[in-house]
Amino acid sequence: MMKKFLLSVAALSSTLTVSAFAADLPSRKEPILLPAPLTWTGVYVGLNAGGAIDASNNVYVVQHPVFLNDTRLGLDGAMLGSFTSASAGTGSVGNNNGGFIGGGQVGYNYQFDGGVGSGWLVGLEADIQGVAGSSGNSNSILGAPLGPPAPPGFGMLGVTQVSKSLDYLGTARGRIGFLFAPTLLLYGTGGLAYGGVHSSTSQFQTFVPANPAPPGILAGAWGAGGSFSNTLVGWTAGGGLEWMFMPNWSAKVEYLYYDIGSINYSSGASGSIFLPTGAPLWLNGVGTSARFNGHIARAGVNYHFNWGAPAPVLARY
Secondary structure (DSSP) of the chain? -HHHHHHHHHHHHHHHHHHHHHHTSPP-PPPEEEPPPP---EEEEEEEEEEEEES--EEEEEEEEEEE-TTTSHHHHHHHHHHHHHHHT-EEEE----EEEEEEEEEEEEETTTTSSSEEEEEEEEEEEEEE-EEEEEEEEEE--SSSSPPTT--EEEEEEEEEEEEEEEEEEEEEEEEEETTEEEEEEEEEEEEEEEEEEEEEEEE-TTSPPPTTTB-SEEEEEEEEEEEEEEEEEEEEEEEEEETTEEEEEEEEEEEEEEEEEEEEEE--EETTTTEESEEEEEEEEEEEEEEEEEEEEEEE--TTPPPPEEE--
pTM for this structure? 0.78
* 73 belongs to a structural domain: yes
Query: How far is the C-alpha of 232 from the C-alpha of 218, rounded, in Å?
Result: 42
Contact criterion met (CB below 8 Å) for 264 and 287: yes
307 or 128: whose pLDDT is higher? 128
* 161 belongs to a structural domain: yes
* 137 belongs to a structural domain: yes
Query: How far is the C-alpha of 99 from the C-alpha of 129, rounded, in Å?
Result: 12
* 1 belongs to a structural domain: no
Query: How far is the C-alpha of 214 from the C-alpha of 152, rounded, in Å?
Result: 7
On the question of pLDDT at 49 being above 60, the answer is yes
Binned at pLDDT 50, 70 and 90, residue 211 comes out as low
Which of 62-71, 168-177, 267-276, 308-317 comes out lowest in average pLDDT?
308-317
- Our count of domains for the chain comes to 1
Query: How far is the C-alpha of 69 from the C-alpha of 89, rounded, in Å?
Result: 20
242 or 283: whose pLDDT is higher? 242
Q: Summarize pLDDT for 236-271 with one digit per residue, the tens.
A: 999 999 999 998 999 999 999 999 999 999 988 888
Contact criterion met (CB below 8 Å) for 106 and 131: no
Contact criterion met (CB below 8 Å) for 115 and 189: no
* 301 belongs to a structural domain: yes
* 14 belongs to a structural domain: no
Nearest to 33 by CA among 316, 317, 314: 314
* 288 belongs to a structural domain: yes
On the question of pLDDT at 77 being above 80, the answer is no
* 51 belongs to a structural domain: yes
Query: How far is the C-alpha of 120 from the C-alpha of 176, rounded, in Å?
Result: 8
Contact criterion met (CB below 8 Å) for 208 and 157: yes
Show the domain range for 118.
46-308
Q: Summarize pLDDT for 149-160 with one digit per residue, the tens.
A: 556 666 777 888
Q: How many CA atoms lie within 13 A of 193 on its CB side?
A: 24
On the question of pLDDT at 180 being above 90, the answer is no
Nearest to 250 by CA among 170, 172, 168, 175: 175
